[in-house]
Amino acid sequence: MHALLHALRMSGIMAWELLWALCLGFLLSAIVEAVVSKEQLGKLLPNSSPRTILVASALGAASSSCSYAATALARSLFRKGADFIAAIAFQFASTNLVVELSVLLAVLLGWQFTLAEFTGGPIMIVLIVLMLRATLTPKLIAAARKQAEEGLVGRMEGHAAMDMSLHQGSFWQKLTSAKGFTATSHYFWMDWYSLWPDIGGGLLISGCLAAWVPQHVWQGFFLTGHPVLTKVWGPLIGPLVAVLSFVCSVGNVPLAAVLWNGGISFGGVIAFLFADLIILPILNIYRKYYGLKVAGILFVTFYAAMALAALAVEFLFSALHLIPQHRAARIMTESIRWNYTSILNIIFLAVTAVLLWRFLRTGGPAMLRMMDDAPPAGDGHHQHCCH
């Protein structure tokens, strides 16, 4: 009982340290989604040329999603005529190059990890594109499209189909309008609703590992006694730890901090963060969406690209002397204290309350019920909330 209470206490402290950063990240993400439309995305991704991949990455970063919703949206784009490889690039950008992830990394681990995520992310996407071009034949893509057209349900289908963005006016006009306020509040709470299981699971797992696993066990597992070997081992083992953790998206960040404090290499942390799209439940969704053979190819290419991109980041940042020398992620504080974190939490809780008020008054609960439903047959139109 004492060990369990200690783990829960560590999880609670981590949640308090993360609260304002999560609220800020979700708010910025909601603002972007409220002014950037998902409509016509499929027509913008006709092939896998460098220009299209760049557009797909930019649109993905602007269409921030949880891992499940990103996977569903990529399938939706593919069904609407987007190139398969471009849709995959969009999917990775929408979970790995997003605002909320960068905020959490900067707060918990330091700006170096944020920079590494945004350096390694494009490298990973390029590697995935090259590998998929080399392995996916037209026959395989045709088989994947046939499977995708069957419309088998994965998870967060309704989330992926929704588009509550505004289409007229400047950025500031959209943001300050009544509809912009409503859309922002809906996206904000939609993100919380879709991600709280991953965030909660990540905090609970991180608390247990931080409380129960001795430091020497981590150091032995990550080969910290072998300076060169650990730099290679980290990027290789990082994605596999993520696969088995079942935690994805921003829920991975607290666990990444625990792994970093435990001794995993810098590149290992980055590889672990990249691997939110190959956890076991999502691999099963790939099987449903595209068939077993294509799902297997996706896993192998994704894993290889994640490990290689993280390895490149490891050696690049080492050469530039950008890897932090001290392992002291902020989630490891022993108690909640009155400091700037507490002040920021109070401020963002007030902002959250205002958004909750708007959300409840403008059909938000009904919108959340739509999130759990599959989109209409044919997936021809995006769903909209009631403004």
- Which of 27-41, 133-147, 288-302, 310-324 is least confident? 27-41
**Which pLDDT score is estimated for 329?**
62
SS3 383: strand
Domain boundaries defined on the chain: 2-369
pTM of the complete model: 0.77
**Which pLDDT score is estimated for 246?**
64
Q: What is the mean pLDDT of residues 93-115?
A: 87
Q: What are phi and psi of 55, to 5 degrees?
A: -65, -45
Q: Cα dihedral sign for 216, 219, 221, 223? A: negative
Cβ(289)–Cβ(75) below 8 Å: yes
75-to-151, 156, 335 alpha-carbon distances in Å = 9, 12, 44
CA atoms of 267 and 120, how far apart (whole Å): 9
Residues composing the chain: 387
**Which pLDDT score is estimated for 378?**
47
Q: What is the pLDDT of residues 163-212, one digit of tens each?
A: 666 666 776 777 778 888 888 898 888 878 877 777 787 778 777 877 78
Cβ(74)–Cβ(88) below 8 Å: yes
Alpha helices in the chain (DSSP H): 2-35, 50-62, 67-79, 84-96, 99-108, 111-135, 138-149, 157-161, 171-176, 178-212, 215-221, 227-245, 252-262, 266-274, 280-290, 292-319, 340-361, 364-371
Q: What is the pLDDT of residues 329-361, one digit of tens each?
A: 655 555 567 777 788 889 989 999 999 999 999
